[in-house]
Amino acid sequence: MAEVKGRFQAHLEVETEAGALLGESRIRLLEAVDKFGSISKAAQHLPMSYKSAWDALDDLNNLADLPVVTRNIGGTGGGGTQLTEYGRKLVAMFRAVEDEYKSAINQLHQATAEAAGSDKATLQRLLRRITLRTSARNQFSCTVSRIEEGPVSARVFLALDENCELEAQVTRESVGHLSLASGREVIALVKAPAVFLLAESGVRTSVSNHLTGVVSRIHVGAVNAEVVVDLALSRTRHVTSVVTTQAVNDLGLAVGTSVTAAFQSTSVILTTFG
């Protein structure tokens, strides 16, 4: 039998049952955005659907320690999009690790161990967050700021950003089970249908969470529509709502419209690592 010669091909990616979450496709998307300065042009170049490109970038921005991309709404072609310095470092780090992985899998551990401690820790946190398997459209990396415990349940306040706070209501048992305490890193999950939109400015409701922002994207279906809102206090963070198509018309929603996204504290699901 003739000897078959060849070589191993290795590709670095983080994969779940839903597919690769951080790998060649998303890194190529970031590289294309950096090159073209436009999500639509980047999506056409890859190619991938415009919606998939938006969703991927939204997820990365919501889960990363620092913004990965920044966007300007409006303008020719729907506005510009740029990688941040952190986004470029993320791409460079991924490519560097990938090169080591391809050239010598058995040297990967040594190569990553020699990486800068803070950069390595940042990448590890991001990889850990995006491997989370969930159907919730909204995933926010937060830090517990304080907890107010009652006889049965507890109000957990979460720092989304310096000037933005969320509230979750969980059982006292969950506080212990998740080891929740001030300073604890958590992922807050909110399903898109649980988020409703208010078009009038300054309107408050009985629900605990109100996030003001500007509509950046609307994907309209036959019955329902997906509305993405860039948060005013953190324009690199986004919240997604699923409402009826009729509601989009009734509220006069369009790209650039100022809205408030609201949801109950009981609609917030918390998850921790380790």
In this prediction, residues 135-157 reach a mean pLDDT of 89
Q: Where are the domains positioned within the chain? A: 14-130, 138-188+267-271, 192-264
Look at residue 169 and tell me whether its pLDDT is greater than 50. yes
The answer to pTM > 0.85 is no
* SS3 call for 24: helix
Looking at 3.30.110.30, 2.40.50.100, 1.10.287.110, 3.30.70.100, the CATH number of the domain 192-264 comes to 2.40.50.100
Look at residue 87 and tell me whether its pLDDT is greater than 50. yes
pLDDT of residue 95: 79
- Of the ranges 149-153, 162-166, 202-206, which one carries the lowest mean pLDDT score? 202-206
**Cα–Cα distance for residue pair 168/264, rounded to 1 Å:** 8
Mind listing the pLDDT tens digit for each residue in 7-19?
444 555 544 333 3
> Quick one: pLDDT band at residue 265, thresholds 50, 70, 90?
very high
> Quick one: pLDDT band at residue 132, thresholds 50, 70, 90?
low
Q: Does 3.40.50.1010 match the CATH number of domain 138-188+267-271?
A: no
**Into which CATH architecture does domain 14-130 fall?**
Orthogonal Bundle (1.10)
Q: Give yes or no on whether 138-188+267-271 and 192-264 have one common fold.
A: yes
- Higher pLDDT: 263 or 117? It is 263
* SS3 call for 124: helix
Beta-carbon contacts of residue 76 (< 8 Å; ≥ 6 apart) = none
Q: Which two tokens stand for residue 11?
A: 């590709």
